[in-house]
Amino acid sequence: MPPLARSVVAELVGTMLFVFIGAGSVVMNSATGGSLGPIGIALAHGVAFAVMVSATLGISGGLLNPAVTFAMWVAGKGSAATGGAYLIAQLVGAILAAYLIKALLPDSAVQITSAGTPQLGVAVTFMQGVWIEVVLTFLLVTAVFGTTVLPDAHKIGGFGVGLAVFVDALVGGNLTGAVMNPARAFGPAIIAGDMHGQAVYWIGPLIGAGLAALLWRGILLPKPS
């Protein structure tokens, strides 16, 4: 199989499994009367992302997120064509994950949570939501560059990136869902037919990822000698 095809499959499967566990944790928290709680949901997202980034890192770079894919392009670490293929794979993977959630998890909880679709907190405005996602995604993408892109980084796989997802979710979970990943929001929303607030989960992560990429490209990444 050609390298790009392998990478696209890795991005699709990795994103699918991450979204299934992440959104599925929201559904199962509802189904079990809140037994997981915010910490459990944050941990499910962080661990699932760490595992899937580690599993796909050597194949596709373990991006699994349209915002991270955009950051790599801004930083000159990938072509637009490859980024476009990754984006499609990530969105398709997220939709497949949400379909599996709808097919396999308790129907009443799937309906109540819109298949794990993130929602803005009741006191969070649109612009507040955007800026929260900007800050959270900036931290996530910084972790990606510092642990998986930087040539001298310690080889810890997706562990550092997963921790970034976990701590971001602890801070922002009750505010925006701490999405940082347009695919994570998009897949469940499509299957549930609930597109409320989706613009927040594209605008905020893309701005945050772009700003982090510019910082790393301009200052923090070593320049070729």
CATH number of the structural domain spanning residue 42: 1.20.1080.10
Pairwise CA distance, residues 4 & 200, whole Å: 30
**Residue 199, in any domain of the structure:** yes
127 lies in some domain = yes
pTM attached to this predicted model: 0.96
pLDDT tens digit string along 49-80? 999 999 999 999 999 999 999 999 999 998 99
Structural domains in the chain (count): 1
Contact by Cβ (8 Å): 18, 55 = no
Is residue 186 included in any domain, yes or no? yes
Q: Which domain holds residue 150?
A: 3-220
Residue 123 counted as domain residue? yes
Does residue 92 sit within a domain?
yes
The verdict on residue 131 lying in a domain is yes
**How large is the average pLDDT for residues 14-37?**
98
Residue 52 lies in a domain: yes
Cβ–Cβ under 8 Å, residues 138 and 70: no
Q: Are 172 and 132 in contact (CB under 8 A)?
A: yes
What confidence category does residue 225 fall into, taking pLDDT thresholds of 50, 70 and 90?
low
